[in-house]
Structure 1
Amino acid sequence: MVYQSVAIVTGSCAQIPKDAQEKLGIKVLPFTIQMDGNSYLDDGIALPSSQIYRVMRSSNIAPTTAPPSNGDYLRTFQSLFEEGCRDVIYLSISEKLSSDYHAACGVADLVNSNYPDNKVHVVDSAGAAIPQGFLAMEAAEKALRGMSAQSIVQWLEGSKVRAGLVASLDTLEYLAKGGRIGKASRFIGSMLDIKPLLSLVNGVVMPVAVQRGPKKVLSVILATVKKAVAGWKRLYLAVLHADDKQRAEVLLQMARGIFQVDDIYLCEITPMMGVHVGPGLIGLGYYFE
């Protein structure tokens, strides 16, 4: 891990590529997945996404997820202080989607009381997946440049409104099962005719556009993101998919043509996120300034 006085920590749901984790010194805590009586780390190795989707398609088994344990938070925060970091910033998934934020806050209070010269700061990203990851990567860049923890926290609080995701799901079934469907619930039962495009608004799943039929979904995703990032001077993009690499490749080429951005991530969402959206998701995540 790259040494710095301010350490950035986040969860595996943030989709941060391994090379970026190493280059920027970001510590990633894996969530866990419970399936058929077994528990797996959300690292893409213990339980590949393909296995989860195969189970979800072929059985009634409903996998569940959990944030890191209190012990995981505690060991991570303490070890970073022992390594010489003065401050730790933990960037959580939206507190409206998971207990991650509140669990990290509880452990941070304990650690801060034992390390009076250090501090753990917990920030709610109000997002998930790659928008959360973009914020963590930008925060890590600022930490490497010597920005103070307080300034980074302030930047995160003001910048999370510029990170987002627009995605289409094959079904809303899995979001509904996990209790994370938010205001998209009104579309349940109509998915054969209507493809709502979903986003996270103030940390809650919200429909941002509606498309009838699947043919123009990718074009509507791009148009919706283009409107959201209008006037951008710096733009980061990532194509996300859940067991749909073929359409993801198409969306990647379309995005390059519209935004003229060469460095666009293409990634399958982590198994933990896949549990909640199910196979067939396709979307475009962004951060802009």
Structure 2
Amino acid sequence: MNKIIITTESCSDLTKEMIDKNNIYIIPMHIVFETETFADGTIPVQFIYDYFEKTKQVPKTSAVNPSEFTEFFEKITKENEGASIIHIGYSSECSCTYQNAVIGISERKNVNVHLIDSKNVSGGAANLTMLAVKLRNENPNATVVELTEKIKAYVPHIVTSFLPDHLEYLAAGGRVSNAAAIGATILRIKPRIDIIDGKLVATKKYRGSMERVAIKFAEDFLHSRELSREAIYIMYALGADENIIDKMKKYFEEKGFKHVVILHTGCVMSTHGGQGALGISAVENI
């Protein structure tokens, strides 16, 4: 069978080890400051936090553009003659990146690319990408069309939630009002953000320090669906307390998860969620 290559975007927040071990190709999104633009992954996350402290503004993030996708897929095809590509895209409800990928491969007869809208972000997209790798390895005789359909079947069953430590970054980025951010800070409220049909939706509020609410967040996540115990992903932004991450990891291990994968959010997701944000992703039993 022809070689099948899995690709995704940088905001899936996969580790370098996961990328290298599974031969996953990554195309970066962008971080846009006032006068400079950087590819995601080329600057440290701390740079964003330092910028916010100085300016009380967050940089903008921008999608991969169509020509970048064209160049990306053509380069992979040239380096892997006869290969097919399955691309796991950032949620089309949160960015124009997926649509840009559609444009980027249109009228390109020399590339064989199959696009999947993950309807997810960060560790949720990582979750689906690693499921794609697993399905590819388990089905060596599947055609690229068959494999694409197998992966797509998991899209509505990837469960992902986030918990910002505070709302300053969301307010600076215009995603919540300043009044709401100030009120949440005073009351020590942390909104849980769930990915629902590809959109980020605030569904529940927790009150207290992150140390106090993190395990409750994990418990609620675990009981929200019938989840496969094969793997669960914990995402965290720079500034999160490592002791909290360890406690969450131990909690999920005690609940029978075979693999608890820790992911550090990159520049794009850290810009949106801010310092200390947490996230969880798993897959429903299907």
Asked if Structure 1 and Structure 2 have the same fold, meaning a TM-score greater than 0.5 normalized by the shorter chain, the answer is yes
TM-score, length of structure 2 as denominator length:
0.86
Q: Partners in 2 of 1:185 and 1:256 — Cα distance?
A: 38
Amino acid across the alignment from 1:261: F
Q: Would the alpha carbon gap of residues 85 and 210 (structure 1) be closer, same or farther in structure 2, given more than 3 Å must change?
A: farther
55, 58, 61: which is aligned to 1:62? 58
The equivalent of 1:274 in structure 2 is: 270
Amino acid across the alignment from 1:23: K
Amino acid across the alignment from 1:166: S
TM-score, length of structure 1 as denominator length:
0.85
Q: Is the 8 A contact 2:230 2:258 kept in 1?
A: no
The equivalent of 1:109 in structure 2 is: 106
The equivalent of 2:32 in structure 1 is: 34
The equivalent of 1:9 in structure 2 is: 7
17, 20, 29: which is aligned to 2:18? 20
Q: Is the 8 A contact 2:58 2:173 kept in 1?
A: no
How many residue pairs were aligned?
Answer: 278
- For residues 190-220 of structure 1, what are the alpha-carbon distances to aligned partners after superposition, in whole Å with 9 as ceiling and x for unaligned? 4132222111111111123222222531122
3-state DSSP of counterpart to 1:37: coil
Q: Partners in 1 of 2:2 and 2:20 — Cα distance?
A: 13
Q: Report the Cα offset of residue 255 of structure 1.
A: 2.8
Q: Report the Cα offset of residue 30 of structure 1.
A: 1.1
Q: For the aligned residues, what is the CA RMSD?
A: 2.6
Q: Report the Cα offset of residue 270 of structure 1.
A: 0.6
The equivalent of 1:162 in structure 2 is: 157
Q: Report the Cα offset of residue 52 of structure 1.
A: 1.1
60, 74, 77: which is aligned to 2:73? 77
The equivalent of 1:123 in structure 2 is: 116
3-state DSSP of counterpart to 1:94: coil
Amino acid across the alignment from 1:195: K
| 1:148 equivalent in alignment to 2:143 | yes
3-state DSSP of counterpart to 2:153: helix
Q: Report the Cα offset of residue 282 of structure 1.
A: 1.7
Q: Is the 8 A contact 1:239 1:283 kept in 2?
A: yes
The equivalent of 2:190 in structure 1 is: 195
Amino acid across the alignment from 1:208: T
Q: Report the Cα offset of residue 177 of structure 1.
A: 4.8
Q: Mind listing any 5+ residue stretches in structure 2 that lack a counterpart? A: none
| 1:220 equivalent in alignment to 2:213 | no
Q: Is the 8 A contact 1:209 1:224 kept in 2?
A: no
Q: Is the 8 A contact 1:235 1:286 kept in 2?
A: yes
Q: Partners in 2 of 1:187 and 1:202 — Cα distance?
A: 25
Q: Give every structure 1 segment of 4 or more consecutive aligned residues whose post-TM-superposition deviation is greater than 6 Å.
A: none
Q: Partners in 2 of 1:53 and 1:264 — Cα distance?
A: 27
